[in-house]
């Protein structure tokens, strides 16, 4: 039987590309996109779309009942930088949406759940290089706290209620289609836009801040691969470490400068520096590679070529 999928938060950075990928794969009518508003016209017009408030149990359940959904990707969340400005709103959205979906799975209304976690679950006392799957987790942002607690609940629902919930700790995700909202890793997207439009960029992190990152195509591939993996291969039910590359703003600047020689950068760290400093520099994702055969395809060079080409088309700027 074809599964009927609901994406909650489908107008966001990852949700919108996931919607497209899943619609291409399963047919547009089998993938219902939903969000709190209809700001992404491509998502709204490329298949069924509903307004759903992830914080509201009835709003989520009504949509699931209407389309006979069996699989939910819960992509709605408030990210690290925005969450620090409004901690209670971040807690409210990130936790309540997860409980609604986990409880619907526990009650047998849906069968399978994807819920993203993040490198933000780690904190200052976590080993920073090759951060292990199982290690000290003392997140310092409200976003990280919701993700860590969420991971505990996912594992709890799996162990105690048999809920088939799967999760990835996404690194910073870099993409060209939709702008991200309110993350600490977002400089790695802004920089490409500014390189093309202004040939200069003021970075809100310091030159040597190394963070784990991933190109969107890899993130989508990982998400779908994990969801398609046989149940017995998914051995971690909290959330999987996942890695592709790590770089600093200086590294990224140099990679872009190879293509735009007169590009310049300045560094003016703000409150996000403290958040970045509490996160790992690189991630050990051996479990994902062993359990469900994860492999990334994009490194900093390949990603930079793709970003400059796609955004160059958008801005009408040709890169040699």
Binding site residues, ligand SER, CB under 6 A = 79-80, 118-120, 143, 170, 172, 183-185
Taking CB atoms, the residue at the shortest distance from ligand SER is 183
Give whole-number Cα distances, 249 to 57, 69, 196, 207, 259, in Å: 41, 42, 16, 5, 16
C-alpha span between 282 and 248 (Å, rounded): 11
Catalytic residue among 67, 143, 157, 201: 143
Cβ 177 to ligand SER shortest distance, Å: 16
Return the number of the residue (47 or 139) whose C-beta is nearest ligand SER: 139
User: What is the rounded CA–CA span in Å between residue 290 and residue 268?
Assistant: 40
Q: Which is nearer to ligand SER, 170 or 201 (CB)?
A: 170
What whole-number distance in Å separates Cα of residue 95 and Cα of residue 77? 9
Least distance in angstroms from the C-beta of 93 to ligand SER: 14
Nearest distance from C-beta of residue 185 to ligand SER, angstroms: 4
Minimum Å gap between C-beta 50 and ligand SER is 26
d(CA 111, CA 109): 7
Q: Which of 90, 83, 244 is nearest to 172 (CA)?
A: 244
156 is catalytic: no
CB closer to ligand SER out of 34 and 184: 184
Nearer to ligand SER, 13 or 304 (CB): 13
Which helix or strand (DSSP H or E) is residue 61 part of?
helix 57-67
Active site residues: 143
């Amino acid at each position: 039987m074809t599964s009927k999928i609901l994406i909650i938060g489908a107008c966001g950075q990852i949700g919108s590309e996931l919607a497209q990928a899943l619609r291409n794969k399963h047919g547009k009518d089998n993938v219902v996109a939903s969000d709190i508003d209809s700001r992404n016209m491509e998502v709204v017009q490329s298949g069924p779309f509903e307004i759903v408030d992830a914080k509201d149990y009835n709003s989520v359940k009504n949509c699931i009942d209407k389309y006979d959904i069996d699989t939910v990707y819960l992509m709605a969340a408030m990210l690290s930088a925005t969450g620090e400005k409004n901690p209670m709103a971040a807690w409210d959205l990130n936790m309540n949406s997860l409980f609604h979906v986990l409880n619907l799975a526990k009650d047998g209304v849906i069968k399978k759940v994807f819920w993203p976690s993040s490198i933000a679950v780690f904190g200052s006392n976590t080993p920073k290089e090759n951060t292990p799957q199982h290690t000290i987790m003392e997140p310092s942002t409200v976003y990280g706290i919701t993700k860590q607690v969420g991971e505990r609940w996912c594992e709890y629902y799996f162990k105690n209620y048999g809920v088939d919930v799967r999760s990835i700790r996404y690194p910073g995700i870099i993409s060209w289609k939709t702008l991200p909202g309110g993350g600490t890793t977002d400089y790695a997207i802004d920089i490409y836009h500014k390189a093309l439009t202004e040939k200069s960029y003021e970075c809100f992190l310091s030159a040597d801040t190394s963070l784990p990152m991933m190109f969107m195509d890899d993130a989508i591939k990982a998400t779908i691969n994990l969801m398609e993996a046989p149940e017995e291969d998914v051995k971690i039910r909290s959330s999987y470490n996942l890695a592709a590359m790590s770089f600093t703003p200086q590294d990224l600047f140099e990679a872009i400068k190879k293509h735009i020689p007169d590009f310049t950068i300045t560094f003016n760290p703000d409150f996000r520096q403290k958040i970045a400093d509490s996160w790992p520099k690189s991630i050990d994702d051996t479990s994902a590679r062993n359990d469900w055969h994860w492999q990334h395809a994009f490194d900093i060079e390949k990603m930079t070529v793709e970003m400059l080409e796609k955004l160059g088309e958008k801005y009408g700027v040709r890169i040699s």
